[in-house]
Amino acid sequence: VTTVKLAVIPGDGIGPEVVAEALKALDAATVDSGIEFDRTEFQLGAARYLETGDVLTDDDLAAIKSHDAILLGAVGGVPGDPRLVGANIERGLLLKLRFDLDHYVNLRPSVLYEGVRSPLAEPGDVDFVVVREGTEGPYVGNGGAIRTGTPAEVANEVSVNTAYGVERVVRYAFALAASRPRQKLTLVHKTNVLVFAGSLWKRTVDRVAEEYPEVTVDYLHVDAATIFLVTDPGRFDVIVTDNLFGDILTDLAGAISGGIGLAASGNINPDGTFPSMFEPVHGSAPDIAGKGIADPTAAIGSVALLLRHLGEAEAAERVERAIAADVAERGDRPRSTSEIGDQIAARIQALQPAHS
């Protein structure tokens, strides 16, 4: 039996609620299997900050680094909470983890499940993955301001893009595209305006494409890509894009494929130097926290991505099939967070292969 050291960061708002269900799914998928999880819970997020003044200490970071993988719920306090002004939990915690753990692939699949009513598309039409760069672009925190608060203020933000950083994520995206039935890759950027960054991305994709003659490659400006996500999502298979464009496109992708409550993600360090981190795309949703009404599906989907990352393809598939089956039979009766979690966990167990 392999033991995986799993760092669990429930976080704020609905984070702990959806993580509890994700862990049920993880347990269900791995009973009697060759893998077991040794979990450590980390109290991080807005609540911890309000209590102790810490966002993420060096000790926290070192402890997290000693794990094999991370499951995160959601972090962030109530918007506008004056006690959080200046804290920036997102930058200090979420982005710090992505950067320090070199999560250069932010993997965000979009599937429209059978049974999901989307006004925009038919089930089967939507089945793409966004490979969002995770460690560069306008997210580097390389901004600054002068004369802050005066009429002469100038506030800059720098998007940093390197051949090193772009090539590794583009290679990952091509390998992924080559492994999928449709073998298509779309680069999304804004090369006509961001000419330097855009040129680097475009040249890199063109060069790596030569090694993947089986992959069809196309290019869209980010503005046009939002149109096609609405009018023709079926045209996408693998999208590779920069950190900020990926952020925007994946929320939109969630909206067109059954809602952000279903969108799972993995922040992946493919080299295995650091633990990868799995989290729902949604935030902490403080407005519905504590009511037991949050949809844990995105967190459970993130468990599937975690299992696949750990090489447990069969278990990952069971989790995904259980989600698909659950979603297909969702009626109009509202279920609680834990009802959904229990029912998906039960399905995962029922799908257990005969030999175990």
Specify binding-site residues for substrate: 98, 108, 132, 223
Residue 49: which of 38, 60, 34, 62 has the closest Cα? 60
* Between 20 and 248, CB nearer to ligand IPM: 248
Helix 297-309 crosses helix 337-350 at what angle (to 10 degrees)? 40
231 touches which of ligand IPM, a second copy, none (CB within 5 to 8 A by kind)?
a second copy
Compute the distance between CA of residue 277 and CA of residue 279 in angstroms, rounded to an integer: 7
Q: Which of 38, 81, 223, 232 is catalytic?
A: 223
CB of 326 to a second copy, least distance (A): 22
Query: Is 59 considered catalytic here?
Result: no
CB of 244 to a second copy, least distance (A): 7
* Between 75 and 215, CB nearer to ligand IPM: 75
Query: Is 27 considered catalytic here?
Result: no
Binding residues (CB under 8 A) for a second copy: these are 79, 88, 90-91, 95, 119-120, 138-139, 141, 143-145, 147-164, 167, 190, 192-197, 199-200, 203, 219, 222-224, 226-227, 230-231, 244, 247-248, 250-252, 254-256, 259-260
Residue 186: which of 130, 254, 136 has the closest Cα? 130
Tokens representing 6 are 């799993």
Q: Produce one character per residue of 221-249: b if its CB has 16 or more CB atoms within 10 Å, e if not.
A: bbeebbeebeeebbbbbbbbbbbbbbbeb
Query: Is 24 considered catalytic here?
Result: no
* Between 301 and 341, CB nearer to a second copy: 301
CB of 158 to a second copy, least distance (A): 5
Q: CB atoms < 10 A from the CB of 46, how many?
A: 25
Query: Is 104 considered catalytic here?
Result: no
For 338, residues 6+ apart whose C-beta sits below 8 A from its C-beta are: 20, 21, 292
CB of 334 to a second copy, least distance (A): 18
Q: Name the closest residue to ligand IPM (Cβ).
A: 90
Helix 297-309 crosses helix 15-30 at what angle (to 10 degrees)? 50
Q: Which of 190, 237, 242, 326 is catalytic?
A: 190
* Between 81 and 223, CB nearer to ligand IPM: 223
**Which residues sit in the known binding site for NAD(+)?**
283-295
**Is-contact 44 56, C-beta < 8 A?**
yes
Which residues are designated catalytic?
A: 139, 190, 223, 247, 251
